[in-house]
Amino acid sequence: MSKPIHFPPDFLWGSATSAYQIEGAPLADGAGHSIWTRFAATPGKIANGDTGDIACDHYHRWREDVALMRSLGLKAYRFSVSWSRILPQGTGAVNEAGIAFYEKLIDELLANGIEPMLTLYHWDLPAALDDRGGWLNPAIADWFADYARVLFERFDGRVCFWTTLNEPWVVTDGGYLHGPLAPGHRNLYEAPIASHNLLRAHGAAVKVYREIGKHRIGLVVNIEPKYPASDEPQDIAATRRADAYMNRQYLDPVFHGHYPAELKEIFGAAWPDWPREDFDLIGQKLDYIGINYYTRSVCRHEETNWPLKVAAVRQTQSTHMETGWEVFPQGLTDTLVEFRRRYGDLPVYVMENGSTFYDPPNAEDGQMHDPLRVDCLKKNLHALHAAIEQGVDLRGYMVWSLLDNLEWSLGFAKRFGIVHVNFETQQRTPKDSALLYAQVVASNGACL
Ligand X SMILES: OC[C@@H]1[C@@H](O)[C@H](O)[C@@H](O)c2nc(CNc3ccccc3)cn21
Binding site for ligand X (CB under 6 A): 18, 21, 166-167, 170, 222, 292, 294, 352, 400, 407, 416
Contact 132, 197 (CB under 8 A): no
Q: In this structure, which amino acid lies at residue 430?
A: P
Q: Provide the minimum distance between the beta carbon of 314 and ligand X in the complex, in angstroms, as a whole number.
A: 15
Q: Provide the minimum distance between the beta carbon of 96 and ligand X in the complex, in angstroms, as a whole number.
A: 27
Contact 121, 166 (CB under 8 A): yes
Identify which of 446, 447, 448, 434 has the alpha carbon closest to the alpha carbon of residue 14.
Answer: 434
Contact 235, 300 (CB under 8 A): yes
Partners of 14 in beta bridges: 76, 398
Distance CA 334, CA 429 (A): 34
Dihedrals φ, ψ of 222, to 5°?
-90, 130
Distance CA 406, CA 404 (A): 7
Q: Provide the minimum distance between the beta carbon of 224 and ligand X in the complex, in angstroms, as a whole number.
A: 7
Quick one: 228 or 417, whose CB is closer to ligand X?
A: 417
Residues near 291 by Cβ (< 8 Å), separated by ≥ 6? 220, 221, 222, 223, 335, 336, 339, 348, 349, 350, 351
DSSP structure string for 139-192:
THHHHHHHHHHHHHHHHBTTB-EEEEEE-HHHHHIIIIIS-SSTT----TTHHH
By beta carbon distance, the residue nearest ligand X is 222
Name the strand (E) or helix (H) holding 284: none
Return the C-alpha torsion angle 36, 38, 43, 46, nearest 10. Answer: 0
At 289 the three-state DSSP class reads strand
Quick one: 107 or 322, whose CB is closer to ligand X?
A: 322
Q: Provide the minimum distance between the beta carbon of 404 and ligand X in the complex, in angstroms, as a whole number.
A: 11
Distance CA 302, CA 314 (A): 14
Quick one: 108 or 404, whose CB is closer to ligand X?
A: 404
Q: Provide the minimum distance between the beta carbon of 259 and ligand X in the complex, in angstroms, as a whole number.
A: 20
Indicate the DSSP class of residue 56: T
Q: Provide the minimum distance between the beta carbon of 210 and ligand X in the complex, in angstroms, as a whole number.
A: 26
Question: CA angle at residue 149 from 144 to 155, to 5 degrees?
Answer: 125
Q: Provide the minimum distance between the beta carbon of 179 and ligand X in the complex, in angstroms, as a whole number.
A: 12
In angstroms, the Cα distances linking 61 to 58, 77, 391, 425, 437 are 5, 15, 40, 12, 22
Quick one: 278 or 359, whose CB is closer to ligand X?
A: 359
Quick one: 116 or 174, whose CB is closer to ligand X?
A: 174
Please identify every residue annotated as catalytic.
167, 352
Q: In this structure, which amino acid lies at residue 223?
A: I
Q: Provide the minimum distance between the beta carbon of 171 and ligand X in the complex, in angstroms, as a whole number.
A: 10
Q: Provide the minimum distance between the beta carbon of 350 and ligand X in the complex, in angstroms, as a whole number.
A: 12
Contact 224, 294 (CB under 8 A): yes
Quick one: 279 or 416, whose CB is closer to ligand X?
A: 416
Quick one: 7 or 416, whose CB is closer to ligand X?
A: 416
Distance CA 62, CA 358 (A): 26
Q: Rounded to a whole number, what is the largest CA-CA distance in the chain?
A: 63
